[in-house]
Amino acid sequence: MITDAYTVNQLKKEAPVFGQLSFDDHEQIVFCQDKDTGLNAIIGVHNTILGPALGGTRMYDYATEWDALNDVLRLSRGMTYKAAITGLNLGGGKAVIIGDPKKIKTEALMKRFGEFVHTLGGTYYTAEDVGMETSDMDTVREVTPYVTGISESKGGAGNPSAVTAYGVYMGMKASAKYVYSKDTLEGKKILVEGIGHVGEELVKLVSSEGAQVIISDIDEDKLHKVSTKYNTTIYRGDDFYAETADIYAPCALGATITTKTIDSLKVKIIAGAANNQLENENVHGVSLQKKGIVYAPDFLINAGGIINVYAEIEGYGRNQIIEKTENIYTTTLDILTKAKVLGITTNAAALSIAEERIMNKKMKK
C-alpha cells in the first residue's frame, strides 16, 4: 500500500523542488542568509496576478531545511487563494525564518531580513505570523516600506490576530448554521488547539457566547492563563483528536488533519485559524467528506488577518475591515452549500472560486 508518508518521501527524492505539490508554479523562491546575524530565511512568491504577494513571516525551529522549504511553499500558495477568495487585489507569498524566536531573534536579524524583503522591490509584502510580534514588523519597517501589520502608533493597523479570530468565529457560526440549522454556539463543545494570538481571541469570542471550550497547547503557562481568564477546561487526556465534541478548531500549526487524526475525530465541524490544516488537500478533503465532517476551508475563514493588514496598503478603515471580515459568514455558507450540490469537497469548492478569479484576471492581462 502506498501511504502518504511514502509518497512524500519518494517525491522528495525524485522531484525535490519542482515536483512538490506545493511548488505549484511558484514565481520565485528567495533564499536569504546572513552569517553575522544568524539569519536563514526563505521567501516564497507564489503568484502575483491579482497584485503584490502578501503574507506573513513565520519564525520556527524547523527540524530540517526541507521542512522549512515545504512550509513556505504550502503557506505562500495558500495566501494566493486566500486573497483571491476574499476579493482582495493581492497575490500570495510568505516567508519563513529558520530558528527558535526565543533564542535567536534579534533586532539586527529582523533588520537584515527586512533588507532582503526590500530587494524584491514590492513584489512581496511581509507581515506577522507564528513567532513574530507587531514590534518585529516595526523593526522591519525601519529598512523597507514593504511590510504590514505595524503598530497603530506608527500608522499601521496593528496586530491582525483579533480580526483573524473574528473571521474564524464567523466561519464557525456559518458552519454551525449549515450543520445544526442555527448559528448559535451556545452549549456547543469546542476543542481549541493552540491558544496563541488567534486561539486566545477565539476562546474569548466563543466563551462569551456560552460555548463549552476545551483548550490544548504545548505551553503550560498559556493554558493556565487562558483557562483562568475565560473559565475553560484544559485537556488532560491522551488523544485530543478523539475527544467527542461539536467543533474542532485548529489554531496552532498546520497539517493536523491527517489519515490518523481523521480516524480519531468525533466532531461534526472543523473550523480554525491554522494555515494548511489538511496534510494532503486531495486525500484528506475527501476523507473528511466521506466521514461526514464539515470542513470550513482554512484559507477562507482565516482571512481576517489579511483583510486587516491590506487596510494599510489600501487605506481603508476599521468599519470596512469589520464589514469585509463579516462577509466570511456568507461566503462560508455559500461554499458549504456549493460543495454539497456539486458533490465535491468544501476545499475544492473554495479553490475553484479562487482559481476562477485569478484566471479571469489573467485573461484580461
Which residues are designated catalytic? 94
Residue least distant from ligand NAD (Cβ): 196
Are the C-beta atoms of 315 and 148 separated by less than 8 Å? no
In the range 298-327, which residues lie near ligand NAD by CB under 6 A? 302, 305
Asked whether position 129 contacts ligand NAD by CB under 6 A, the answer is yes
Q: What cell was used for 282? A: 486531495
How many CB atoms within 10 Å of residue 101? 17
Q: How far is the CB of 198 from ligand NAD (least distance, A)?
A: 4
Q: How far is the CB of 253 from ligand NAD (least distance, A)?
A: 5
C-beta of 129 vs 279, nearer to ligand NAD = 129
Per CB under 6 A, the list member of 84, 198, 205, 335 interacting with ligand NAD is 198
Per CB under 6 A, the list member of 27, 71, 217, 281 interacting with ligand NAD is 217
Per CB under 6 A, the list member of 68, 72, 251, 270 interacting with ligand NAD is 251
Asked whether position 258 contacts ligand NAD by CB under 6 A, the answer is no
| Bridge partners, 14 (sequence order) | none
Helix or strand holding residue 93 (H, E) = strand 91-98
Per CB under 6 A, the list member of 275, 287, 289, 347 interacting with ligand NAD is 275
Q: How far from the centroid of its chain's Cα atoms is residue 100's Cα? A: 20
**Binding piece for ligand NAD, criterion CB under 6 A, among 84-92, 156-164, 226-234, 336-344:** 156-164
DSSP assignment of 183-244: ---TT-EEEEE--SHHHHHHHHHHHHTT-EEEEE-S-HHHHHHHHHHHT-EEP-SS-GGGSB
Q: Which residues of 259-290 are buried (b: 16+ CB within 10 A; e: fewer)?
A: eebbeebebbbbbbbbbbbbbbbeebbbbbbe
Are the C-beta atoms of 216 and 190 separated by less than 8 Å? no
Asked whether position 255 contacts ligand NAD by CB under 6 A, the answer is no
C-beta of 253 vs 353, nearer to ligand NAD = 253
**Binding piece for ligand NAD, criterion CB under 6 A, among 91-99, 140-148, 246-254, 327-335:** 246-254
Asked whether position 249 contacts ligand NAD by CB under 6 A, the answer is no
Listed in order, strand segments (DSSP E) in the chain are: 28-34, 39-47, 53-54, 57-60, 91-98, 124-125, 189-193, 212-216, 233-234, 247-250, 269-270, 294-295
Q: How far is the CB of 105 from ligand NAD (least distance, A)?
A: 13
Are the C-beta atoms of 80 and 92 separated by less than 8 Å? yes
Asked whether position 274 contacts ligand NAD by CB under 6 A, the answer is yes
Pairing of strands 53-54, 28-34: unpaired
C-beta of 181 vs 228, nearer to ligand NAD = 228
In the range 60-99, which residues lie near ligand NAD by CB under 6 A? none
**Binding piece for ligand NAD, criterion CB under 6 A, among 2-10, 261-269, 272-280, 312-320:** 272-280
Which residues make up the interface to ligand NAD (CB under 6 A)? 129-130, 160-161, 164, 193-199, 216-219, 222, 251-254, 273-275, 302, 305
